[in-house]
Structure 1
């Protein structure tokens, strides 16, 4: 073996073990309120991603959104469908979120609130839609918090990364000592 071959072998090994860097990972969260898709884009650690372009596609729609100064965005859609949101930063970070058609709840008709003089039946579609909309609004912050917690970098992730680095360094030093 020539002296450059161990370096090529090490480089090939590192390329096989490549994974995205999580320390500055871009996160995207989206939810539905009635027929409005709202969400936020942020980096690991909670810093908002300001001015990030977000592509909303699905349901015969393709729109370009941009996150505001708090990393938030919103878009009203015409019909319930499966949607895909993709956020990309200029430096190569990417995040994706999918929304299923079943998450959309049609808002109750405006006259439903004024017709509450008679007790509504549980089969009343306006009442069911109002309940679903209220539950969706209550669950959204919990879902957002859960997504942020799952995306958070933990000490075990950091230690795992350091373990990989030390392990690969050990293999490289062992290989070099064996050759020398």
Structure 2
């Protein structure tokens, strides 16, 4: 009985020690992601506890480890990189203390008009120019100054809306990444509790069995 209690106590202490070490590591788990928007690649780097990596150098490489360029995160941990080639872009950032962020944007996520993408042939281009030329000879609509001002104002409002939406999407992506990490941590805690419960029941039954056998 004494041996069984000692074994269970040792297992319990070991589990709590492991859980404590993992919780500390999880609290500093790196969260990083990149989202292409045309030839612009927006990304963010931070930790699972909500702290963002500010003013951090982010280097960009191709699949052959050739450097394509670099950028820096802002005060909110966000960065923007302009892609010039339709190839895989690999982002790396050293957050110190052994934390390295590495993530990738694949070539198929980038537009085809970049270098290395599929382009239209000269004949197709010439045909398009001919069509445009014929359209230019057609009756041209009369555009008044009022219509021009309306178009300019509408474009400014649209740009503001796009900028606001982009910020909201960034915030949503960050919250989603943190939610995924929290759910993962909860699953791990539940698994550890389940294992401890099984060992506890087994230790109790083993102790009862030995007591009954000794009697």
Matched residue, 2:96 = 90
Structure-1 separation of matches of 2:23 and 2:100: 13
Matched residue, 1:73 = 79
Change (3 A) 1:56 1:141: farther
Is contact 2:59–2:67 with CA below 8 Å preserved after alignment? no
Is contact 1:28–1:87 with CA below 8 Å preserved after alignment? no
Change (3 A) 1:162 1:41: same
Is the strand fraction higher in 1 or 2? 1
Q: Larger radius of gyration, structure 1 or 2?
A: 2
Change (3 A) 1:82 1:24: same
Q: Does 1:41 align with 2:45?
A: yes
Matched residue, 2:55 = 51
Is the helix fraction higher in 1 or 2? 2
Q: 1:149 aligns with which of 173, 176, 180?
A: 176
Encode CA deviations 1:63-115: one digit per residue, 9 max, x unaligned: 232211111111212111111112220222222221111111249xxxxxxx7
Matched residue, 1:103 = 109
Change (3 A) 1:33 1:150: closer
Structure-1 separation of matches of 2:77 and 2:108: 26
Change (3 A) 1:48 1:19: closer
Matched residue, 1:110 = none
Unmatched tracts of structure 1, length 5 or more = 1-9, 108-114, 119-136, 175-180
Structure-1 separation of matches of 2:24 and 2:87: 31
Unmatched tracts of structure 2, length 5 or more = 1-13, 115-131, 136-162, 204-215
So what's the TM-score if we normalise by structure 1? 0.53
Q: Number of aligned pairs?
A: 138
Structure-2 separation of matches of 1:48 and 1:73: 12
Change (3 A) 1:73 1:150: closer
Encode CA deviations 1:94-149: one digit per residue, 9 max, x unaligned: 22221111111249xxxxxxx7xx7xxxxxxxxxxxxxxxxxx9899769845752
Q: 2:33 aligns with which of 4, 18, 29?
A: 29
Q: Secondary structure at the match of 1:154?
A: helix
Is contact 1:29–1:144 with CA below 8 Å preserved after alignment? no
